[in-house]
Amino acid sequence: MIQLKKGEIMLSLTYEHLKEEVFDRFNELVISSDLNISRLVGISDTPDDYYYILKNTNEKNQKYSYLSAVCRLVYLKDTMSYDDYLYLNSIAEINGCENENEFIERKTTL
């Protein structure tokens, strides 16, 4: 379990909670903290942190990136019209960022 401080409130994030959240949003387009549009495709962990696995929409050399789960994602499906989201999704697919067939989970073992 990783604890995050938000003001004076301690929030606890478990791997299982993160997995449930990401699984419910599998393959959705998101804006990450680096302001890139990516596809949310899985989760990973280390002994110190949990990570979102993002499929990049505009990186030709790096297909996937990892973003600490401490960072916030903006779910584009929630912020725009359905038609606009479908259009953006089709542009991502044309540029090589198709939906993944399977949820990616890279869990470390100690």
Q: What is the mean pLDDT of each successive set of 10 residues along the chain, which is 110 residues long?
A: 51 85 96 92 93 86 88 94 96 91 80
CA dist., res. 89 & res. 95, Å (int): 10
User: 10 Å Cβ neighbour count for 89?
Assistant: 20
Q: What pLDDT is attached to residue 48?
A: 87
Name the amino acid, one letter, at 104: I
Contact 53, 70 (CB under 8 A): no
Q: 52 with 22: CB under 8 angstroms?
A: yes
Q: Residue 54: which of 9, 4, 106 has the closest Cα?
A: 106
- Per the confidence metrics, is the pTM higher than 0.75? yes
